């Protein structure tokens, strides 16, 4: 088994064989995959699918949402195979996915489905943007708006392609032209992860004049300058 980091988590790939011959054509119901978190307190049971282009190669997804909830460490994985029809395959094997701090920190960025800015004409309940995806594409996701008056997050009630309009429960302010708008792709994102995303966005240069994030950047620059003198 090997793992590939994707935008929505880690995808595990594996093959199964009978007498040294790779078994193709297996379906989801013939596998049981169990993923246990580092603390051995929660589990995830993902579905297995065969590759459409490479028969005999199977995969499942360990979602970012699951990992951001349970953190850094070793995730135990058990794959049970029970294929009764010939060529029969009955097997159990295990593997460990090690999630480092670097992996964990980067998952926050993968939560961002779209990054844009507010357009003129937005209201407290309708955020006009430059997004151009089809109607309802972002429904059920979360939106974060960074405004001079503060930062607010809301579930997206509906999304319309016209004007890239995102409809939400009333915000505590009216989005201004060029306010940063972030769409968060998974409702499973934790408050801590969303906070990290917002902080990274602010620190990356979208800070507001005289804001705390601007002060932090100035402090960071000052500290770096002092270190260069040591």
pLDDT score recorded for residue 188: 44
CA separation for the pair 25, 56 (Å, rounded) = 7
Distance set, CA 160 to CA 32, 79, 114, 135 (Å): 39, 42, 15, 5
Please compute the mean of the pLDDT values over residues 155-164 and round it to a whole number: 93
CA distances from 98 to 3, 7, 37, 67, 91 (A): 10, 17, 11, 11, 23
Domain extents in the chain: 2-107, 111-229
Residues 99-109 pLDDT 10s: 887 777 666 55
pLDDT of residue 144: 85
Task: Among 2.40.160, 3.40.50, 2.40.50, 2.40.30, name the CATH number for the domain at 111-229.
Answer: 2.40.30
Range with the poorest average pLDDT among 112-126, 142-156, 183-197? 183-197
Q: Which residue has the higher pLDDT, 195 or 74?
A: 74
Determine the Cα–Cα distance for residues 34 and 207; give it in Å rounded to an integer. Answer: 43
In degrees to the nearest 10, what's the CA dihedral of 129, 200, 141, 164?
A: 10
* More confident of the two residues 42 and 60: 60
CATH of 2-107, one of 2.60.40, 3.40.1000, 2.40.10, 1.10.760: 2.60.40
What is the reported pTM? 0.51
Cβ neighbours around 14 below 10 Å, total? 18
The residue with tokens 């460490």 is 73
Q: How many CB atoms are closer than 10 A to CB 47?
A: 12
Question: CA angle, corner 6, sides to 135 and 137, nearest 5?
Answer: 5
Task: Tell me the mean pLDDT in the region 181-192.
Answer: 63
Residue (of 145, 171, 167, 148) closest to 158 by Cα position: 167
Among residues 158, 156, 148, the alpha carbon closest in space to that of 180 is found at 148
Q: How far apart are CA 142 and CA 171, in angstroms?
A: 13
């Amino acid at each position: 088994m090997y793992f590939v980091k994707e935008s929505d988590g880690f995808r595990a790939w594996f093959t199964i064989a009978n007498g040294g011959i790779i078994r193709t054509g297996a379906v989801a119901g013939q596998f049981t995959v169990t993923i246990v978190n580092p603390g051995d307190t929660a589990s995830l049971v993902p579905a297995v699918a065969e590759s459409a282009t490479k028969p005999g190669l199977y995969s499942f997804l360990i979602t970012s949402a699951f990992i951001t909830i349970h953190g850094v460490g070793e995730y135990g994985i058990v794959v049970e195979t029970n294929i009764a029809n010939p060529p029969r395959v009955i097997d159990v094997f295990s593997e460990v996915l090690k999630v480092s701090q670097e992996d964990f920190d980067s998952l926050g960025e993968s939560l961002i489905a779209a990054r844009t800015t507010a357009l003129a004409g937005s209201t407290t309940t309708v955020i006009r943007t430059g997004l151009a995806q089809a109607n309802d594409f972002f429904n059920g996701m979360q939106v974060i708006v960074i405004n001079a008056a503060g930062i607010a997050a809301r579930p997206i009630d509906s999304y319309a392609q016209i004007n890239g309009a995102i409809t939400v429960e009333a915000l505590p302010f009216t989005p201004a032209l060029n306010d940063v708008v972030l769409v968060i792709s998974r409702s499973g994102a934790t408050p801590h992860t969303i906070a990290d995303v917002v902080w990274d966005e602010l620190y990356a240069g979208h800070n507001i004049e005289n804001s705390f994030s601007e002060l932090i950047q100035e402090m960071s620059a000052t500290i770096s300058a002092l270190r260069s003198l040591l």
